[in-house]
Amino acid sequence: MKVAILGFGTVGSGAYEIIRDGKCGLTVKRVLDVRVPAGYEELVTTDYQVILSDPEIEIVAEAIGGLHPAYEFVTAALRAGKHVVSANKHLICHYYKELHELAAEHGCEIRFTPSAGGGIPWLYNLRRAARCDKIESLRGIMNGTTNYILDAMQHLGSDFAEVLATAQALGYAEADPSADIDGWDVRRKCAISASLAFHTVLGEEDVPTFGIRYITKEDIAYFESLDLSCKLLACAREENGRVTAYVEPTLLPSGAIESAIGSNFNCISLWGKYVGCLSFVGQGAGKYPTGNALVQDMLDIMEHSGKTPISLTAPVMDQTIYPHRYYIRTNAPVPCDVIERRDGNKYITRPLTRTEIHTLASAAANIDPQAFFAGLEDSIV
């Protein structure tokens, strides 16, 4: 299936490379950008009409960001009967209802998994869950930049301004990082998530928000003294047909799943009446994680269209890949050259391949059928 990507920035170029290097059945026929990089003259155009009027292009992937001209491009694509995928939370949040209605009117799909949760298939799975379950609530870390900041302040004792600068240099932060630290970015993601979860339409103005701009080292130290972690959480809940949604720095006990989420990772959970709690963890921002989510949305559309190529090849198995240490408890003899440590009938081996450990296990089983083997994860890098 042929597709076009609008915007050759971080996310657009990430999606382009994933499609170019994979064998997923998609082909990028055109990329739209204001500049044509050298070597990409055949691919990149500055004229959107070239894409719009090309009947071979069935999906338009929008990775421009901002409201305009993304809105004009996306609506024109839907009117031309092309499916749309978008990484643009601002656009999706602002025009949620209109874009869904326009897509339905023209028999097209609109997907926007990378717009909230970045690289994790949060919105994809929320959409699936909401099809037959009643989503009662959702909650999570939806902004990588602020999680990076809070994590570094808590665990490295970093200063707010210094760690924000690092997050910007790593490409996690928005162009204007106020959107991250004042919570506006999460507010849009929360509104999109709640709209999908509760089959309704929330705007960002429906989500009261506190940010983390003024958090200090002293605040963090105080939370630590109480064994609490501070995370910027988006929360939404429906009770008896009434909805609440909000974004706030939240103090969590150390056992909460979000407390263990470090760096720029996101972690978002839903509670369904039937499925219970489902949690999704992964990279919330960045070129390839977000580009990957954009490509996955295109693949889902291709799958629905019945045009997915099927190609199954026999695996080339190699059980010598990825050797690691093992724990063995046996009364059978264990060859000296594999032992790194011994405590009676308990051994820790040097890194072994699966071929080696299974050969050893077969020999041991003849003498000690109750021998026990376990891999050691600490040798896995």
Q: Which is nearer to ligand HSE, 196 or 285 (CB)?
A: 285
Number of C-alpha atoms within 13 angstroms, CB side, residue 301?
27
Contacts of 221 (CB under 8 A, 6+ apart): none
Tell me which of 118, 183, 249, 289 binds ligand HSE, using CB under 6 A: 118
Which residues, 6+ apart, have CB-to-CB distance to 170 below 8 Å?
148, 264
Residue range at the interface with ligand HSE (CB under 6 A); choices 10-18, 103-111, 173-181, 233-241? 173-181
| Residue 11 φ/ψ, nearest 5 degrees | -75, -45
Shortest Cβ 185–ligand HSE spacing (Å): 5
Per CB under 6 A, does 272 bind ligand HSE? no
Shortest Cβ distance from residue 193 to ligand HSE (Å)?
A: 13
Side-by-side strand order, sheet with 110-111: 44-45, 27-32, 2-6, 57-62, 83-86, 110-111
CA 271 to chain centre: 19
- Whose tokens are 């910027």? That residue is 232
Q: Which pair of tokens denotes residue 237?
A: 């809940």
Q: By three-state DSSP, how is residue 252 classified?
A: strand
Stretch that binds ligand HSE, among 40-48, 172-180, 233-241, 326-334 (CB under 6 A): 172-180
Q: Tokens for 359?
A: 């050969």
CB of 210 to ligand HSE, least distance (A): 17
Among 33, 151, 180, 182, binds ligand HSE (CB under 6 A): 180
Q: Does 173 bind ligand HSE (CB under 6 A)?
A: yes
Residue type, 94: H
Q: In the complex with ligand HSE, which residue's Cβ is closer, 11 or 19?
A: 11
Which listed residue (95, 124, 160, 172) binds ligand HSE by CB under 6 A? 172
Stretch that binds ligand HSE, among 59-67, 138-146, 150-158, 224-232 (CB under 6 A): 138-146
Residue 63 touching ligand HSE (CB under 6 A): no
Least separation, in Å, of the C-beta of 359 and ligand HSE? 48
- Burial call 254-285: b when 16+ CB within 10 Å, e when fewer: eebebbebeebbbbbbbbbeeeeebebbbbbb
Phi, psi of 86 (to 5 degrees): -140, 140
Instruction: With contacts defined by CB under 6 A, name the span among 52-60, 129-137, 171-179, 373-381 that binds ligand HSE.
Output: 171-179
The verdict on 174 binding ligand HSE (CB under 6 A) reads: yes
Does position 285 interact with ligand HSE (CB under 6 A)? The reply is yes
**Active site (catalytic) residues:** 189
Residues 141-170 that bind ligand HSE (CB under 6 A): 143-145
User: Any residues with CB less than 8 A from the CB of 367 and at least 6 apart, and which?
Assistant: 330, 331, 332, 333
**Closer to ligand HSE at the Cβ: 293 or 357?**
293
Q: How far apart are CA 12 and CA 287, in angstroms?
A: 8
Q: Which is nearer to ligand HSE, 166 or 353 (CB)?
A: 166
Q: Could you list the residues that contact ligand HSE (CB under 6 A)?
A: 118, 143-145, 172-174, 180, 185, 284-285
